[in-house]
Amino acid sequence: MSGDLAESGDLVHLARAVELSRHCPPSETAFSVGAVIVGADGEVLAEGYSREVDAHNHAEEAALGKLPAGDPRLRTATVYSSLEPCGQRASRPRTCAELIIAAGVPRVVVAWREPDLFVTACQGTAMLTAAGVEVVELPELAAQAREVNAHLLG
Ligand SMILES: [Zn+2]
């Protein structure tokens, strides 16, 4: 696959993640995020969004939770998330960055870096990169990912 084709596929899947973020139950204290897990062959393996399963659920966690632990397809998959996976969280012992690393996912594509609003200096991207995960940012979709959270950003 050429780089151009890979990038247009990335935009399609990331746009879907942003679309999913619009389905999140509203919150005044947490971001609305969507996530899509796509296999190496382009098949969508799972989707999720913030607070889909319970009040503290994160999008990446919701999507990963729909696949069996150790699913071999995860080892060649890409996680698309409208927001950088969290590297710190108060609500659960494992961050989304840790969950992605534990699942063996080699690549993450994000639209928007987490602003210093609920945690300072989110380390999600740094944690992923340190673990050997490729993190790609597509700022073309950052404005749309932000817009879903405009009420939080003031
Ligand atoms: Zn998270």
Half-sphere exposure of 52 (CA within 13 A, CB side): 21
Number of structural domains the chain divides into: 1
Q: Binning pLDDT at 50, 70 and 90, where does residue 2 land? A: very low
Classified as helix, coil or strand, 151 is helix
Indicate which residues carry an active-site annotation: 60
Residues 6+ apart with CB under 8 A from 90: none
* Closest listed residue to residue 85, CA positions, set 144, 31, 15: 31
Distance 6 CA to ligand 1 centre (A): 25
What is the reported pTM? 0.92
44-64 mean pLDDT: 96
The pLDDT tens digits for 77-132 are 999 999 999 998 887 889 999 999 999 999 999 999 877 666 666 689 999 999 99
- The enclosing domain of 20 has a CATH number of 3.40.140.10
Distance 13 CA to ligand 1 centre (A): 19
Provide the residue range defining the domain that includes 60: 3-153
The pLDDT tens digits for 6-28 are 567 999 999 999 999 999 999 99
Distance 124 CA to ligand 1 centre (A): 9
Distance 95 CA to ligand 1 centre (A): 5
Give CA–CA dist 81/142, Å, rounded: 11
Distance 63 CA to ligand 1 centre (A): 11
